[in-house]
Structure 1
Amino acid sequence: MQVWYWRYWNQLPYLSCSLLADWPHGFFTRQFDPQMPAELVKVLDPQATAARSRQVHGNRILTELPTQPPFPEADGLMATAAGTSVWVCTADCTPVLMGDRQRGVVAAIHAGWRGTAAQIVPRAIAGLQQQGSSLEDLRFALGPAIGGSVYQVSVDVAAQVCATLNPAATDAKTMLATWGVRERVPFSSPVVLADATFGKMRLDIRQAIATQIVQCGIRCEQIAIAPYCTYQTSNYFFSYRRSGQSQVQWSGIVARPFPP
């Protein structure tokens, strides 16, 4: 069973997921602003070091982790050394934290629609496998992000994301028709929904990412999606779509020692 629950540090709330109980981790709220990973990591593990990158909406994943500026461009980080934490910042994009229960290694991914279309999460899964992880040992938590019911995008954007879910389709109409059907999606809602505005669709990025993960061979039970929309939950989360301001919240996870 996947359970999301609130933790508190100095009366400030952050979100955790039971699927990641093996690792110190947190999806931090706007209440922690303007603290950065070097400060936030002390909430999770006072002895851990924090690594981050300069996010550019791509699909590059770092294994050599920067802890001091200048930070290289990347939207994913993978930590294999115990006591190292990896961090991503988001407003409406999806923060994905993942870990290997046997090896203790972790990854943090920033996935907006561009990163999702570029399959950054499947790339992270492949990277973990190359380093020795087995699919059955991986756990995934998709944190607060803009919900599909309110995320309006162009048909072209929706089609680019859906192309990763139906690579045999060659036109936008087929892609969208396939992945707009509730029964084809292994989670609670479709990836795409109709929109009243001509040339627009509603896109659920987290459902798309979760479907990509399942297509990699992961079971649904290994994946959790946070029940919070950043756009609609203004008391806890910043949202660029809502405010138009560049404000973010951070999410991080700490690698643990390999079991003996």
Structure 2
Amino acid sequence: MSVRPFRSGLLDGVPHGFLGRKGGVSTGLYAGLNVGLGSDDDRAAILENRRLAVEAVLPGATLASLHQVHSADAVIADIWPDDQRPHADAIVTDRPGTLIGILTADCVPVLLADKAAGVVGAAHAGWKGAIGGVTDAAVARMEELGANREAIVAAIGPCIARTSYEVDEAFFRRFAKADPENDRFFTDGRPGHYQFDIEGYVAARLAAAGVAQVELLGLDTYANEPDFFSFRRATHRGEPGYGRQFSLIGITA
């Protein structure tokens, strides 16, 4: 089975792809295109999957990825060994022939581009990074490379959907305290719990940062097991591990 990128119309003309689990050489719990260096999958399989992912989006490109820590930190891409990846959750570049990527397994992947300036970005927005401003940081870093935030377009890829994302009262209160208008991203669930629309929340943060065009792909990682890895699904099943999928964007050499 070949690697199957999901693409955004807003990013048409920019090499990019939200990759799921189809394709790849991993087996067992990690079956498919697991690219997570932090997983317990076979190291050789992970590296081959990462190679296949690059070839599916921008063949021959140099890959730059991160050691993600659920922060709001963004960095400018450089060439670094896998064991020296910076601890951050967003990455940007204006370097032709470079492909930047972030990993997710329910968190929100965001790909961004200012096509005229030739600047692209990728952000990993778990709830901590999202409320902390990781997408704001990505936009600011893109501006350092010459992007204009009013010209940036963004796409939100596969992530856990509201119907699959139950949170407790303390979680809800944290977001309500940060901004009373955040209650629009929560709907009532079972007693003492809510369903959280993290995809909508991240889209609203992008809009508030001045990104005028944002596309939501509306793909639920939790509910769609054939296409996506999911941390929460693996946790609910008591599984000892879970795969990660790539979201990649780059600039043609």
- TM-score (structure 2 length as normaliser): 0.82
Give the deviation of 1:210 after TM superposition. Answer: 0.7
One of 211, 214, 218 as aligned partner of 2:207: 214
State the 1:216 CA deviation.
1.5
How does the TM-score come out when normalised to structure 1?
0.80
List structure 1 segments (4+ residues) > 4 angstroms apart after TM superposition: none
Pick from 112, 121, 130: which aligns with 2:144? 130
Distance 2:112 2:95 in 1: 15
Cα pair 2:165 2:197 within 8 Å, conserved:
yes
1:243 and 2:237 matched: no
Structure 2 match to 1:193: 187
Deviations 1:156-202 (A, max 9, x none): 323334555x3xxxxxxxx2xx3334xxxxxxxxx11112131x221
Q: Which residue of 2 aligns with 1:180?
A: 183
| Structure 2: stretches of 5+ with no match in the other structure | 24-32, 35-47, 236-240
Pairwise CA RMSD: 1.8
% same residue? 28
Determine if contact 2:108/2:199 at 8 Å carries over to the other structure: yes
Q: 1:149 and 2:163 equivalent?
A: yes
Larger helix proportion of the pair: 2
> In the superposition, relative to structure 1, how do residues 255 and 163 fare at CA in structure 2: closer, same or farther (>3 Å)?
farther
Which sits farther off after the overlay, 49-58 or 28-37? Answer: 28-37
Separation in 2, partners of 1:161, 1:143: 22
Matching residue of 1:97: 111
CA deviations 1:191-246 (Å, max 9, x no partner) are 11112131x22111111111111112222xx1001121001111101111112232
1:256/1:137 Cα in 2 relative to 1: closer, same or farther (>3 Å)? farther
Question: Is the aligned partner of 1:139 residue 2:158?
Answer: no
> Following superposition of structure 1 onto structure 2, how do residues 46-125 of structure 1 map, counting pairs within 5 Å?
46-70=59-83, 71-125=85-139
Say if 1:64 and 1:44 are closer, same or farther in 2 by CA, change over 3 A: closer
CA distance in 1, matches of 2:3, 2:108: 21
Structure 1 residues 24 and 247, CA gap change in structure 2 (3 angstroms): same
In structure 2, how many angstroms separate the alpha carbons of the residues matched to 1:37 and 1:67? 15
| Cα pair 1:238 1:249 within 8 Å, conserved | yes
Q: Which position in structure 1 is the counterpart of 2:43?
A: none
